Amino acid sequence: MTLGMLGLAGWVISPIRIAAAALQDDLERVSLIPEMAEREGPLLVFRDFVADPDIEVEQHIRLQLNQRKDMLDLLRKKIGFEKKVRLSMEEIQVRLMFVPQLHEDHADAYHRYCRDITAYLFEMNEMDNCYATITSPNESYPPLSQDGISAFLVHRLAKDYRAVCRFTAESGRSVKYKAAGAIFSNHLGAVDLEIQSIAPGQFGLSRRAFTIWQNHTENLYTLMSIPVEETLHYQLGKATDREIGASMKNHPPKNLYAAQRLAEEWMAVEESVVGGLVNRLLEDYCSLHHMAIPASKPGDSGRPLPSLHQYRYRDRGIQLVGNLGFQDALALYMESPSTFRDQLFRQQDA
């Protein structure tokens, strides 16, 4: 990686929230974090096993099982199927683990940056600070605040899982299968929307009151984006959840799977506006400190390219937010996510 200092001398300006010299030192250390070697330990426990419909874990289990020819052969013997067999998840339990940042100078620098960039976001948009705490835990079971959202800065996030799966043949015959394992999460920051079945035809929406931000990333742009992106998800999520709730009320989903697919589509729309807002805010923040916005990867002068399915509308979102402006795009989405979505798709068809 060749990002290096990124001309950080440009950060020496009059003091704004953080003294100029301290800000320069912090950003110099932050710029080096993507170059540091990844670590897989020590692994500490964030939270013990709980029922958790974790999409990342579910996708991992499906991929692993779909690649097992021995499993398909066994299923043919047990339940019999001709062309395909349906896999459903009846229960997923997840224990969250984390690798602490450990490198104190760099961890402290990134901690101060996260506090500064979120404060900048709150001040610029006259938002209430939604965070009760932003901390870098070094011991298992870090406490959650009871008065607001807790943000935890870690090196890596891991997920132990155990799940009950069901395979069903065309005939309706089925068999259960228990899966267990562990993965490192690819979600550098996550404000997950959880959908739960409350009663037949009724589903509840919730977002966790904690968020975990990983500093294990290949580029500085992503590292700087994480606190901005997750903070915007909490803010914009209020409008998204309102829209999903209204849609479920007017057109009740037939089952939990249909409700989850509805939510997933709206989360992709939310990701599009968040991507555009993050891009604009980082441009303004870096301009304020006389620094060029970091590239999305070494040697790249463009913006981050969407890779996960949830980011499928992100390029369009960046363009639409650029056309509308930060404040107008934010206000439009908060007032009517459907109107923002319509403009997003009209832009695609143009």
Write down the pLDDT at residue 7: 34
Residue pair 196/204 in contact (Cβ under 8 Å)? The answer is yes
Rounded CA separation 269/272 (Å): 5
Handedness of CA 131, 137, 140, 143 (dihedral sign): negative
Phi, psi (degrees; rounded to nearest 5) at 149: -85, 140
Write down the pLDDT at residue 261: 87
Rounded CA separation 23/33 (Å): 16
Assign 194 to helix, strand or coil. strand
Write down the pLDDT at residue 340: 94
Question: The tokens of 31 are what?
Answer: 């710029």
Write the burial class of residue 71 (CB in 10 Å: 0-12 exposed, 13-18 middle, 19+ buried).
Answer: middle
Assign 328 to helix, strand or coil. helix
Write down the pLDDT at residue 295: 66
Characterize 91-111 residue by residue with b for buried, 16 or more Cβ atoms within 10 angstroms of its Cβ, and e for exposed.
Answer: ebbbbbbbbbbebeebbebbb
Write down the pLDDT at residue 25: 76
Write down the pLDDT at residue 16: 45
Write down the pLDDT at residue 333: 95
Write down the pLDDT at residue 128: 87
> Measured at the alpha carbon of residue 283, what is the angle toward residues 217 and 296, in degrees to the nearest 5?
30
Per-residue pLDDT of the chain (350 residues; tens, 9 = 90+): 223 333 333 333 334 454 556 666 777 888 888 888 889 999 999 999 998 888 889 989 988 888 887 777 777 777 776 667 788 888 999 999 999 997 788 899 999 999 999 999 999 888 889 999 999 999 999 999 888 899 999 999 999 999 998 888 877 788 888 999 999 998 887 667 777 778 877 888 888 889 999 999 888 999 999 999 999 999 999 999 999 999 988 888 888 888 888 888 998 999 999 999 998 999 888 888 777 777 654 444 334 444 567 788 888 889 999 999 999 999 999 999 999 999 998 875 55
